A and B are shown apart, each in its own frame.
Chain A
Amino acid sequence: AQSVAQPEDQVNVAEGNPLTVKCTYSVSGNPYLFWYVQYPNRGLQFLLKYITGDNLVKGSYGFEAEFNKSQTSFHLKKPSALVSDSALYFCAVSSLTGGGNKLTFGTGTQLKVEL
């Protein structure tokens, strides 16, 4: 079975500071990893994904994430946080051997960026 862990329920960051939202995963086989963002009362929006190739992937709104196979991690990062980045962030994983077409989500991390 595949799973995702987001160890922090909430991350607080001052605007202008770098932010990191943590994610670790467990799958059999090669992982396909995703980050989504959810603003209040909205659907989830895709930010970025890792399928293969370069371990550092860049996505929307200046976000990036680094795939680390040895640590089974896929942490989301941004060099300089904005108040408008405040939202709920979900990490997700799937794989060819992970239940077919299923994308499994983590429990979400609430990011709060303060002035």
Chain B
Amino acid sequence: DTAVSQTPKYLVTQMGNDKSIKCEQNLGHDTMYWYKQDSKKFLKIMFSYNNKELIINETVPNRFSPKSPDKAHLNLHINSLELGDSAVYFCASRQGNFNTGELFFGEGSRLTVL
């Protein structure tokens, strides 16, 4: 009964490969996010969806493509992986489309590109 679950938790792959990370939330929230945490622990927003609609798209290479089949799921597909993509990717959700609610985070997916 995990609130925000991500799979896989660990991902090790070669440069140039394509990989996906899946995220599901069972909180009934309307808004979901992808954040990237680098090796220095800096957190940066990548994307946000509200009810399956993209509302935030930060300056992220177009090799990264989010997909939200329904409001409970937000997946992240990465094409042509590069060394610099190695990071921990966090999915999060929040109720509504307002700025006052807190985020609920998943446990993270650690991506290592060799």
Q: Which residues of A contact B (CB under 8 A)?
A: 32, 34, 36, 38, 41-46, 49, 51, 88, 90, 94-96, 98-105, 107-108
Which residues of B are in contact with A by a Cβ distance under 8 Å?
Answer: 4, 31, 40-45, 48, 50, 55-56, 90, 92, 94, 97-100, 102-108
Asked if A105 and B105 sit within 8 Å, CB to CB, the answer is no
The listed residue (B4, B40, B99) touching A94 by CB distance below 8 A is B99
| With known contacts A34-B102, A43-B90, A44-B103, A102–B4 Cβ distance under 8 A | no
User: Quick one: closest A residue to B49, CB to CB?
Assistant: A101
Cβ-defined contact, A100 with B42, below 8 A: no
Specify the chain B residue showing the minimal Cβ separation from A93.
Answer: B99
- Cβ contact within 8 Å between B107 and A107: no
Q: Closest CB of chain A to B14's CB: distance in Å?
A: 24
Residue of B with least CB distance to A98: B99
Asked if A107 contacts B42 (CB within 8 A), the reply is yes
